Structure 1
Amino acid sequence: MRLADFLLRNMEAILSQWEAFACTLLPAAANLKSPALRDHAQQILEAIAKDLSAAQTRNAQVEKSQGRAPVIVDAPETAAQTHAILRARSGFDIKQLTAEYRALRASVLRLWMDHCPSNELELDDVIRFNEAIDQALAESVGLFSKQVDQARNLFLGMLGHDMRSPLQTIQMTASYLVGLNAGERVTGAASRLIRSGARMQSLLDDLSDFNRTKLGLGINIVPTHVDLAAVFRDELDQLRAIHPDRQLDLTIQGKCDGVWDGPRLQQLLGNLVLNAVKYGASTTPVRVIVTGKEADIHIAVLNSGATIGPAAMEQLFEPLRRGVDQSEGYNDDSHLGLGLYIVREIAKAHGGEIEVRSENDETVFAVRLPRGE
C-alpha cells in the first residue's frame, strides 16, 4: 500500500499515537482534552497525504527537504502554522513542538512498515514523507518563534510601561528629601536614589525603544528645528558631571541647525560618548566633532585605546550583546546591551547611517544625518 493511502485509511490509529505522545509533554499538556491534544494533527496528515500523491520535480524535492517549499500568495495559514500558534498559546516550548513531529515521523513509518509486506514498501514514499514532515516542521517552528518573540516583546513593553509610575514616585520622593535639607546623610542617600532612578529611567527608555523596533514600529522621532551645537553642549555638560575624571571635548564646525529630533540625537550622542568613556583609554580625551555641511551633518566620536576585534565588529550594533573587554568586545554602557543598537536605529529613523573604524589604537564612530529643512 502506498504511504499516502495508508495515512488516510489509518488516520485514527496514527492520531491515537500522536495524542498519547502529546499528553506526556508536561506541564503544558496537563489540562488539555483530546481535541486539543490532537490539534490540527489530522489536517497536517491530510496535507502530507495530498503532497505525497502529487507530482514533484527534483528541484521542488530539494527545496521542500530544506523547509523552503513555495509559499502561496494570500493563502491562509497552513495546518502546521495554525498548530504552532495554538501550541504556543497553550504553553508548549519549541522543544516539545519539534518532539511532536519527531514522534509523528517515527510512529507513521513504524505503523506503515508493520502493516505492509516489505516488498510493497516504496522507498520514494519514505523520502517524500520525510521531506513533507521537514516542511511542516519548518512552517511550525517559523511561526512558533514569531509568536514567542511577539509575546516576549509585548510583555517587556508592558513591564517597562508599568514600572514608570512607581519609578517616578521614587524620584519625586527622593527630590523632596533633598529639598528638606535634613542633614548630610539623608541628602546623600536621596541623591543616590535620584541618580539610580535616572539610570533606571534610561534603561526603561532603551527597553521601550527596543520593543518598538522589534514590533516593527521603529524608533519614534518628533523632528523640530533644533541647533545641534546647543543640544550637544548640554549633553556633554551632563556627562562631564557624571564622569568628572574624564576629559570630554566638543568641536563644532560649520552650520549645525536643522530639522531633527533633538532629544533623540542627544540620546544618540550620550550613548556613543558613554561607550567611548567605558572602553577608551582613561588617560586620553574623548573627542566629539560635529561638522555641518550643506546637505548633511557629520557627528564623530573618537577615543584612544585598544581597537575592536573583527569578531566584535561584526556584532557591534546587534541588540542584547555586550563587550567582554576592550580587546575582544566593544558595546554600550547599558546593562541591557542596547545602546549601540538604539544609536543605529535613531540614525536610521532620521534617514542617516552610522559606521565605525577601529585601527592604530583609535576608534571612531561616525554618524551622517541628512539635513532636514
Structure 2
Amino acid sequence: MQIAEFLEAASEAILDESVAYARTIHPLKDQEDSVLRDHLPKILTAISADLRRDQSRKEGIDKSHGKGFPSAGTDGSAAESHGRKRALSGLRIEHVVAEYRALRSCVLRLWSDVAPATPDSLRDVGRFNEAVDQALAESVRVYSMEVDRWQQIYLGVLGHDVRGPLNAIALTAEIFAARISQDLQRPTATLLRSTRRMTSLIDSLMEYNRANLAGGMVIRRLPIDLAAACHEEIEIQRAALPDTAIVFETLGGNHGEFDASRIREAVANLISNAVKYGVPGEPVTVRLAGENKLVRLTVENASVNDIPADELEQLFDPLRSTLPHRSGKERSLGLGLFVVRQIVKVHEGEVTGKSAGKRVTFTITLPRFTVEPSPLFPS
C-alpha cells in the first residue's frame, strides 16, 4: 500500500494521534477536537493528492527550494489556513513546526506497521517528506505574516495612545517656558527639545507601521519649487544643529510635482543621520541638481571609515544597527532611513548609498513630472 492510499484509509487514526499530540501544547490543551483538527483533514487530502500526481525530477528540486505548486482557490491552501489559525490561537512558531513533525512521524510509523517494504518505498517516503515540507513551509509563511500583522496593529495602537500624554507634556512645557523665571528657562528648553524628539520618533514609528500594515505611504503631489522647500528645512536643521555647518548647493531648475512635507522629512532624516554618525566638526553638504526629467538630491558627510556596500544597503532596513555613533558606541539608526526609502519609493524614485574615500553619500533621484517651470514659479 502506497502512502497516498494509506492517508485516505487511516485518516481517522492519524487525526486522533495528531489531536492527542496537540493537546500537549499548552495554548491548545483545553480546545475542542474540532479546533485541534482544524485544517488537518484537508492537509492530509492535499498531501495525498500531491503524492498521486506525476512529478518530474526538476519539479521535486523546485519544491525543495520552496517553489512548490501554487495553491488552488482564492483563500489559499489548507496549510496556509492552518498557519493563520495557529497564529491567532497564540501558538509559537516552534509549536507549528512540532505539529508537522508529529504528523510526519505518526504517518510513517503507522504506515510501516501495515505496508511491507518494497523497492518503491524509499521513493514514496521521499515524496511524502517533500509534500509535508511544502505544507509546513506554507503554514510557517502565513503564520509569520499574521504575527507581523498583529505586531503592526499593536505598534499603531501604541503610537496613537502615546501621542495624547506626550502632547500634554509638550503643551505644559510651552506654558512654563512663557511664564517661569530666567533660571528655569534652560531646563524647560531641554524638556521642550526632548518632547519634540519623542514626537519625531513616534512619527517615524507610525510611518513604519503604516508602510507595513496599510500597504504603503500616502503622498499629496503639488507643483512646487523643491529648492525652496529644501532650503526651508535646512534652515530649521541649522537652528537645531548649531555645532554643524550644513552647506546647501543648488544647480539647474528644481520645479516639479512632489509632496513638499514628505521630501522635507526625508532631507531632515538624512541630515540628522549625517550629523549623528559623521565626523565631529566636519560639514554636511546637501546638493540639489535639476536635470531634464528628474532631480537629484545628495547628502554627503565625512566618515571615520568606509562602509562596505552590503552594510550600507542594510541601513535602509528598519531597526538595523550598523554605523558607530559619534560617542563611539554603536547605536541603531532606528527608522529614519527606512522612512526615507518609503518616501522616495512612493514618489516613484530611488535612493542609494555610497561610501568611498571616507565620505558617505546618500542620493535621492526623483522624477519631476513637471519638466518646465510654470507661471506659478517665476525664475
TM-score between both structures, scaled by the size of structure 1: 0.90
Matches within 5 A, 1:20-169: 20-26=20-26, 28-72=27-71, 74-118=73-117, 122-169=121-168
Q: CA deviation at 1:119?
A: 5.3
Question: What is the number of equivalent residue pairs in this alignment?
Answer: 368
- Aligned mates of 2:51, 2:187 — CA distance in 1: 72
CA distance 1:257–1:120, shift in 2 (3 Å):
closer
Identity of aligned residues (%): 40
Please identify runs of 4+ aligned residues in structure 1 that moved more than 6 A. Answer: none
Letter of the structure 2 residue corresponding to residue 77 of structure 1: G
Alignment gaps of 5+ in structure 1: none
Q: CA deviation at 1:155?
A: 1.8
Matches within 5 A, 1:311-322: 311-322=310-321
Decide whether the 8 Å contact of 1:255 with 1:293 is kept in 2: yes
Deviations 1:251-271 (A, max 9, x none): 233333332111111111111
- Aligned mates of 2:119, 2:367 — CA distance in 1: 70
Aligned position for 2:373: none
Decide whether the 8 Å contact of 1:300 with 1:364 is kept in 2: yes
- Aligned mates of 2:11, 2:289 — CA distance in 1: 71
CA distance 1:145–1:23, shift in 2 (3 Å):
same
Q: Is the partner of 1:63 in helix, strand or coil?
A: helix
Q: CA deviation at 1:112?
A: 1.4
Letter of the structure 2 residue corresponding to residue 158 of structure 1: V
Q: Is the partner of 2:231 in helix, strand or coil?
A: helix
Q: Is the partner of 2:70 in helix, strand or coil?
A: coil
Q: Is the partner of 1:368 in helix, strand or coil?
A: strand
- Aligned mates of 1:285, 1:119 — CA distance in 2: 76
Larger deviation, residues 64-73 vs 137-146: 64-73
Out of 254, 262, 268, the position equivalent to 1:264 is 262
Decide whether the 8 Å contact of 1:203 with 1:336 is kept in 2: no
- Aligned mates of 1:336, 1:285 — CA distance in 2: 20
Decide whether the 8 Å contact of 2:246 with 2:283 is kept in 1: yes
Letter of the structure 1 residue corresponding to residue 242 of structure 2: P
Letter of the structure 1 residue corresponding to residue 276 of structure 2: K
Aligned position for 2:253: 255
Larger deviation, residues 91-100 vs 361-370: 361-370
Out of 351, 354, 376, the position equivalent to 1:354 is 351
Letter of the structure 1 residue corresponding to residue 24 of structure 2: T
- Aligned mates of 1:143, 1:130 — CA distance in 2: 20
- Aligned mates of 1:228, 1:136 — CA distance in 2: 51
Is residue 2:342 matched to residue 1:345?
yes
Aligned position for 2:290: 292
Alignment gaps of 5+ in structure 2: 371-379
Letter of the structure 2 residue corresponding to residue 21 of structure 1: Y
Larger deviation, residues 351-360 vs 50-59: 50-59
Larger deviation, residues 56-65 vs 122-131: 56-65
Decide whether the 8 Å contact of 1:66 with 1:134 is kept in 2: no
Q: Is the partner of 1:364 in helix, strand or coil?
A: strand
Decide whether the 8 Å contact of 1:67 with 1:139 is kept in 2: no
| RMSD after superposition | 2.5
Q: CA deviation at 1:273?
A: 0.8
CA distance 1:66–1:303, shift in 2 (3 Å):
closer
Letter of the structure 2 residue corresponding to residue 259 of structure 1: E
Aligned position for 2:361: 364
Aligned position for 1:240: 238
Larger deviation, residues 191-200 vs 216-225: 216-225
Decide whether the 8 Å contact of 1:113 with 1:121 is kept in 2: no
- Aligned mates of 1:223, 1:40 — CA distance in 2: 47
TM-score between both structures, scaled by the size of structure 2: 0.89
Q: CA deviation at 1:86?
A: 0.8
CA distance 1:111–1:61, shift in 2 (3 Å):
same
Is residue 2:18 matched to residue 1:18?
yes
- Aligned mates of 2:111, 2:140 — CA distance in 1: 26
